[in-house]
Structure 1
């Protein structure tokens, strides 16, 4: 079993509401993420998942409990060293660009971290190749599509050679093509580099790609398991304000029309195979 890379131990964080009532955004949450995993943290708006993201990258510190990164409790003394090993990609790609060109933008964080020029040039090109954006090195960011912008943001994150890539609703503002581009890029990076990926999302289609899913509800950890184990909850997820993956919705619709499918399928391949089996067994 691989080493623990992030853990939350009975973590609680409370915001003070306008009416001054105490409402824990995160309440007594514990979990562990191991090196090389892809873990999706899912939940409806207000479930606590965004607060979890801020606790993991040190934008917030828990009022109770501990956040441990790389085996050490996260604190103000080790915060910047810890963040240097964590790449972040946020929701709105337009808010992340600071360079006049794609290569300038990828180089920005490297320059801030004092990377020598020759090494910086190599890292910029290497990271853009990995996200298939090398041909756009001299392009102005505002000329790119949403998916391309997020791939450049990922390039900027991985150029720092982090151990963890944290995606905070990174696909929520993208069209289906852009979303597919980003998720394919992340999947390939994980396979090639054994990167630890944490995706904060309300999109269960994205969660399908994860090794493990942590489901938040009303500030608490509601469920944890493989995508298969989580999606077996079916209607329970819908009742909690989440949309089932497209293929599962199609499976359910077909069953209501009398087509004898074996299960609510999570992938198109599973659904097609079941349909063929049902057809030939008539």
Structure 2
């Protein structure tokens, strides 16, 4: 596997107008490999948003080294590296600039000098990837929340990025819209090998990730596969994170004397065990 992004003892401190300082990212180390889905979770103020800004060069580390595509990110290579990264933010309305869906998806391509004869098929292909091709001539602001985020993802995909970063991209969506976006991203990862970094506070969203990084007070508190992370339920709740429904219910059932084995992260896993338990009684 190729290394896509790495942080080597990265730190960043904010200075306030009163002269006070706050270390938002403190000695963080991790590596993202090609084709991985990494979920970064934490409560507000944990350092997630600062990490996102560091990854795309809106901020630069005060200490440590941040490399993207094997190059240390700096002012000289910033624009070249950004052209290979797709970014989808929390509020899709803040990203729309075109009067129609296809105009909006084409905007970044036009800015980067992509010839018209290449632009048209790339717009159609990227919208087809997120199942929004039939909305080519629709006004973006008339779409549902989930549809808007799919268009925002299409705009990022049209640039053919090597890395897609979702910065709280589902936090303003209803459950249906969130499920739509997560399903699209998962299908893209499976079919194209896209590398995904999802920055979120929603632990339900991280179940599809290959690895989870938990941030707390600027530090990397723990990392591992979702099932490993959710086994630390009391630690996660202590820093203000909600567990997936199946994990909470598993614990409550154990407290009531029902012999639930393991730490279930999905309702399907829990239902299967309960069914087996019932059949064996």
Give the TM interval when normalised to the shorter protein: over 0.9
SS in 2 for 1:14: strand
Question: Which runs of at least 4 in structure 1 moved beyond 4 Å after TM superposition?
Answer: none
SS in 2 for 1:82: helix
SS in 1 for 2:204: helix
CA distance in 2, matches of 1:18, 1:245: 39
Alignment of 1:13-52 (within 5 A): 13-52=12-51
CA distance in 2, matches of 1:61, 1:170: 23
CA distance in 2, matches of 1:181, 1:254: 31
CA distance in 1, matches of 2:212, 2:279: 35
- Residues 43-52 or 258-267, more deviating: 258-267
Give the superposition deviation at 1:18: 4.9
Alignment of 1:119-268 (within 5 A): 119-268=118-267
Question: Could you tell me whether the CA contact under 8 Å between 2:245 and 2:267 is conserved in 1?
Answer: no
Question: Could you tell me whether the CA contact under 8 Å between 2:3 and 2:70 is conserved in 1?
Answer: yes
CA distance in 2, matches of 1:132, 1:147: 11
CA distance in 1, matches of 2:259, 2:130: 42
Unmatched 5+ stretches in structure 1: none
CA distance in 2, matches of 1:20, 1:204: 35
- Residues 14-23 or 92-101, more deviating: 14-23
Q: What whole-Å deviation, never above 9, does each CA across 1:13-32 have from its counterpart, x for those lacking one?
A: 00013542222000111111
Q: What whole-Å deviation, never above 9, does each CA across 1:207-237 have from its counterpart, x for those lacking one?
A: 1110001111100111011111111101110
Q: What whole-Å deviation, never above 9, does each CA across 1:67-86 have from its counterpart, x for those lacking one?
A: 10111110000000000000
CA distance in 2, matches of 1:258, 1:279: 14
CA distance in 2, matches of 1:194, 1:26: 29
TM norm structure 2? 0.98
CA distance in 2, matches of 1:20, 1:155: 42
Alignment coverage as a number of residue pairs:
281
Unmatched 5+ stretches in structure 2: none
Equivalent residue, structure 2, for 1:3: 2
Q: CA RMSD in A?
A: 1.0
Question: Could you tell me whether the CA contact under 8 Å between 2:227 and 2:263 is conserved in 1?
Answer: no
